[in-house]
C-alpha cells in the first residue's frame, strides 16, 4: 500500500481569501497529497461550499489533488452534480477525487430545506447510479423511485476514464453502497480499532457484487494539533465534537507531536488504511498555517518509513 496524507477543512478558519490561498500554496509546493473540503450548506459558522471550492482549486493549482469529504448526494440533483464533477476534472486535468455519502440525519440542511431524511439512502443510491452512468455512457435513461431521466448526457466526460468514486459511511447500508458503486471508501470518525471490521465487511460485500476495490483505496481521517489538550482551540473543538457528533474526541483527535501523529497513522495502516485526511485544529491564519507547516516538516518525511514497512 502507498500511504498518502491530505489535509482537510471542516470550516473556514481563515480571515479572508488571501489567507486561504496562502494555505493552499503551502500545500501545493509541499508533499501534501490532496486538499479536502467538508460539505455543509447550512451553517452559522464560516464554511466554503465544496463544489465551488473544487472549481477554484482546479484553476489555482497544478499538482495537488482535491476532493469533497463527503458531498451529500441526497441534497443535490445527480445530473448537475455529475456535470460539475466532470467539468472540474477536465479543467484540472484529472485531479478531482469525488467522495459521496448520504449525509448525517442530524445535519441542519434537512430541516432547513424541508427535505425528509426518510429514504435518503435509496435516493443516494439512485443518484450514484445515475452519476456513474453519466460519466461513462453517451445516453442515460433512468426510472427510479426518486429520479426519472430520458436521454440524459454530459460532455465532456471526465478526464479520468475510471473516475474515482469514494463512498463515506460505516453503516450496513453504506457498506453495501460502497461495494456496489465505490472505487474507494472513506471513514468518518472511526478509530483504528473500528476500521478493520468495516473494511472486512466491505471486502465481503464486494465478493457478492463481483467487484474489487484497490487495496490502497481505503481512507481514514482525524483532527490533529501540535500542542496540548489544554490549548483553547482543542477545548473548543472537543466541545463541538461531543455536543454535535456525540463522539469522544480522545478516541480520534491526535494532540501532541509528529511522533504521535505518525503512530496514529501506523495504527490505521495496520488496520488496512493507506489514504488519510488530517484536519488541523487551530484558530486564525497564523495558527493554521503553523499547524500545517509543522505537519509538513515533522510528519510527511516519516511516511517514507511507513511506506517501506507496508
Please tell me whether residue 152 adopts helix, strand or coil conformation.
strand
Domain of 14, CATH number, reads 3.20.20.30
For residue 278, the model assigns a pLDDT of: 97
> pLDDT tens digits, residue range 235-257?
999 998 888 777 888 888 999 99
Residue 89 makes CB contacts below 8 A (sequence gap 6+) with 95, 96, 158, 159, 160, 163
d(CA 87, CA 80): 10
For strand 140-143 and strand 148-152, is the pairing parallel, antiparallel, or unpaired? antiparallel
In sequence order, what are the beta bridge partners of 8? 36
Are 61 and 28 in contact, with CB atoms under 8 Å apart? Answer: yes
Round to whole Å and give the CA distance between 113 and 65: 31
Write out pLDDT tens, residues 51-108. Answer: 999 999 999 999 999 999 889 999 999 999 999 999 999 999 999 999 999 877 778 8
Query: Residue 168 is part of which domain span?
Result: 4-309
Give the SS3 label for residue 234. Answer: helix
Spatial neighbors of 258 by CB under 8 A, at least 6 apart, are 226, 294, 295, 297, 298, 299, 302
Residues of the chain with pLDDT under 50: none
Q: How confident is the model at residue 114, as a pLDDT?
A: 84
d(CA 127, CA 135): 12
Distance, in Å, from the CA atom of 226 to the CA atom of 103, rounded to the nearest integer, reads 30
Residues 293 and 26: beta-carbon distance below 8 Å: yes
Q: Give dist(CA 65, CA 288) in Å, integer.
A: 20
Residue with C-alpha cell 495558527? 287
What pLDDT score does 310 carry? 61
Query: How many domains is the chain built from?
Result: 1
3-class secondary structure, 223: strand
**At 224, is the secondary structure helix, strand, or coil?**
strand
DSSP-derived secondary structure for 99-146:
EEE---TT-HHHHHTT--STTHHHHHHHHHHHHHHHHH-S-EEEE-SS
- Candidates 35, 140, 149, 42; CA nearest to 97 is 35
* CB neighbourhood size of 176 (10 A): 18
CA distances from 164 to 66, 131, 183, 213 (A): 12, 12, 6, 11
Amino acid at each position: 500500500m502507498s500511504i498518502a496524507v491530505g489535509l482537510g477543512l471542516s470550516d473556514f478558519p481563515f480571515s479572508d481569501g488571501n489567507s486561504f490561498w496562502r494555505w493552499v500554496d503551502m500545500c501545493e509546493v509541499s508533499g501534501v497529497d490532496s486538499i479536502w473540503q467538508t460539505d455543509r450548506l447550512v451553517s452559522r459558522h464560516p464554511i466554503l461550499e465544496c463544489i465551488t471550492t473544487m472549481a477554484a482549486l482546479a484553476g489555482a493549482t497544478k499538482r495537488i489533488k482535491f476532493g469533497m469529504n463527503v458531498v451529500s448526494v441526497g441534497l443535490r440533483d445527480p445530473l448537475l452534480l455529475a456535470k460539475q464533477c466532470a467539468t472540474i476534472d477536465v479543467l484540472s486535468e484529472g485531479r478531482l477525487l469525488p467522495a459521496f455519502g448520504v449525509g448525517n440525519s442530524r445535519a441542519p440542511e434537512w430541516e432547513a430545506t424541508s427535505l425528509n431524511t426518510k429514504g435518503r439512502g435509496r435516493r443516494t443510491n439512485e443518484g450514484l447510479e445515475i452519476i456513474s452512468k453519466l460519466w461513462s455512457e453517451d445516453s442515460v435513461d433512468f426510472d427510479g423511485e426518486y429520479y426519472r431521466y430520458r436521454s440524459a448526457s454530459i460532455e465532456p466526460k471526465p478526464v479520468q476514464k475510471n473516475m474515482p468514486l469514494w463512498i463515506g459511511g460505516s453503516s450496513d447500508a453504506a457498506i453495501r453502497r460502497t461495494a456496489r458503486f465505490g472505487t474507494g471508501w472513506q471513514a468518518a470518525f472511526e478509530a483504528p480499532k473500528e476500521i478493520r471490521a468495516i473494511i472486512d465487511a466491505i471486502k465481503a460485500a464486494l465478493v457478492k457484487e463481483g467487484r474489487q476495490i484497490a487495496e490502497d483505496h481505503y481512507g481514514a481521517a482525524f483532527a490533529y494539533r501540535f500542542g496540548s489538550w489544554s490549548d483553547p482551540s482543542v477545548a473548543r473543538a472537543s466541545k463541538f465534537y461531543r455536543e454535535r457528533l456525540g463522539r469522544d474526541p480522545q478516541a480520534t483527535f491526535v494532540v501532541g507531536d509528529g511522533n504521535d501523529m505518525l503512530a496514529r497513522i501506523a495504527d490505521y495502516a495496520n488496520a488496512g488504511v493507506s489514504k488519510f485526511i488530517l484536519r488541523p485544529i487551530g484558530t486564525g491564519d497564523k495558527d493554521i498555517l503553523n499547524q500545517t507547516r509543522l505537519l509538513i516538516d515533522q510528519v510527511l518525511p516519516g511516511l517514507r518509513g511507513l511506506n517501506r514497512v507496508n
